[in-house]
């Protein structure tokens, strides 16, 4: 194994990111088929080629004769939050997420109380992040849902 890992290619970085996210979400590594489906590859051989290359480059480790044994050698660092200002793309993502929660709750009769609580938390986060315009636009819908509870 190399002392210092060689930078992955764009495709390998995509695969590495997928594996990291999968492990975080599921607490175990993905199978080659799950990687194939998740990244829209057409064969398991392609996955194997990229995984073996990432192992040689020092980014992945795999226990022999063991299923779901991929480990990221040095997971990418999570960005550190230094301000409560968010980027426009992050703001759009949060607004879309809140819209999704509203659609779910508005279609349920009566609304799920736990989901309604989660929605309150999301809208509170928007307020803390300075998204007052979005919060103001969501308040009438939130009050209507609370009344239907």
% of residues, the chain, pLDDT over 70 = 89
Residue 62 phi, psi dihedral angles, 5° rounding: -140, 130
Is residue 12 within 8 Å of 50, Cβ to Cβ?
A: yes
Residue 147: its pLDDT value, please?
85
Nearest to 135 by CA among 147, 145, 124: 124
Residue 33: its pLDDT value, please?
92
Name the token pair of 85: 């200002």
Name the token pair of 147: 């009344």
Residue 66 phi, psi dihedral angles, 5° rounding: -140, 130
Q: Where are the domains of the chain?
A: 10-72, 88-148
Interatomic CA distance for residues 127 and 89, integer angstroms: 17
Residue 3: its pLDDT value, please?
53
Residue 2: its pLDDT value, please?
45
Burial of 105 per CB tally in 10 Å (0-12, 13-18, 19+)? buried
Is residue 145 within 8 Å of 106, Cβ to Cβ?
A: yes
Per-residue pLDDT of the chain (149 residues; tens, 9 = 90+): 445 667 888 888 888 889 888 888 888 889 999 999 999 999 999 998 989 888 888 888 888 777 788 888 875 555 555 666 777 777 888 888 889 888 888 888 787 888 888 888 889 888 888 888 889 999 999 888 888 77
Predicted model pTM:
0.47
Q: Convert the pLDDT of each residue in 12-53 to its tens digit.
A: 888 888 988 888 888 888 999 999 999 999 999 999 898 988
Helix axes 132-148, 113-128, angle to 10 degrees: 160
Name the token pair of 137: 């636009």
- CATH classification code of 10-72: 1.10.10.10
């Amino acid at each position: 194994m190399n002392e210092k890992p060689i930078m992955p290619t764009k495709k390998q970085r995509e695969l590495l990111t997928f594996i990291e996210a999968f492990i975080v979400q599921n607490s175990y590594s993905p199978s080659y088929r799950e990687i194939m489906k998740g990244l829209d590859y057409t064969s398991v051989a392609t996955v194997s080629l990229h995984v073996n290359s990432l192992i040689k480059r020092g980014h992945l480790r795999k226990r022999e004769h063991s299923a779901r044994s991929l480990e990221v050698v040095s997971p990418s660092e999570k960005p550190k939050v230094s301000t409560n200002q968010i980027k426009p793309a992050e703001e759009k993502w949060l607004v879309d997420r809140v819209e999704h929660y509203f659609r779910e709750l508005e279609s349920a009769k009566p609304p799920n109380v736990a989901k309604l609580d989660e929605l309150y938390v999301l809208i509170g986060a928007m307020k803390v992040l300075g998204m007052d315009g979005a919060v103001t636009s969501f308040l009438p819908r939130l009050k209507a849902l609370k009344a239907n509870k």
